Chain A
Amino acid sequence: EPEVTQTPSHQVTQMGQEVILRCVPISNHLYFYWYRQILGQKVEFLVSFYNNEISEKSEIFDDQFSAERPDGSNFTLKIRSTKLEDSAMYFCASRRQGSNIQYFGAGTRLSVL
């Protein structure tokens, strides 16, 4: 069964460093999403992507964040100048045209020290 793949599974970084989280969505899906879940809190929407462009972003998704699709398969989330409070699980999700179901990857656990 096709699945959303996220790498790395765990990323440890020093405060102030830049990180890139990677996602390979399900192959025929056209809508992509990033969410995050701070430990003990709700899953929160960050950004959605369609047709190689950001279609919607939350208040959390400020200038520190960027999302892009550098090639035909990968979808990335870049966090510049990481802060302690960026520590969280980051989930990528995708859905196909004509369906509202979002399928999630296993997540990347980001630890900022």
Chain B
Amino acid sequence: SQELEQSPQSLIVQEGKNLTINCTSSKTLYGLYWYKQKYGEGLIFLMMLQKGGEEKSHEKITAKLDEKKQQSSLHITASQPSHAGIYLCGADIVGYGNKLVFGAGTILRVKS
């Protein structure tokens, strides 16, 4: 399914650099969730965004949801090796029940 598109597919950044990952839905969202997954492991919840225009930060990670509630971005400032992993956006989509629909993920590598 193509309900959620994530970009880029993969990203290699030098330690200390900033980066942005995007997640776009063709449909209106009830909520947008960012998770981090280490290869072959579980999903770790990072942030939830529910209101149009909402922005949340935790340590060096900031996530935003646009006013129309169809696009979100995840921004990492001054990346560190500990930020490496797979970032997944998941969404409650209007009319899709209470399940989460996920994007394909963005693989982030941070070079020291």
Contacts and interface: CB of A to CB of B under 8 A. Distances in A.
17 contacts: A33-B99, A33-B100, A41-B104, A42-B102, A42-B104, A43-B43, A48-B99, A100-B30, A100-B48, A102-B33, A102-B45, A102-B100, A104-B42, A104-B45, A105-B42, A106-B42, A107-B42
A65 interface: no
B41 interface: yes
Contact of A56 (B41, B45, B98): B98
B13 interface: no
Contacts of A100: 30-31, 33, 48, 50, 92
B104 A104 contact: no
Interface string B15-44: 000000000000000110101000011111
Interface residues of A, number: 26
Interface string B91-108: 010000111111111000
B94 to A, nearest CB: 13
A57 B37 CA distance: 24
A35 B101 CA distance: 10
B63 interface: no
A30 B104 CA distance: 28
A45 B91 CA distance: 12
B41 A106 contact: yes
A42 B3 CA distance: 11
Given A89-B40, A100-B92, A109-B40, A43 B98 contact: no
A104 B35 contact: yes
Nearest to B2: A42
A101 B50 CA distance: 11
Contacts of A91: 42-43
A8 to B, nearest CB: 14
A49 B88 CA distance: 23
A58 interface: yes
B99 A45 contact: yes
A95 to B, nearest CB: 9
Contacts of A6: 42
B100 A45 contact: yes
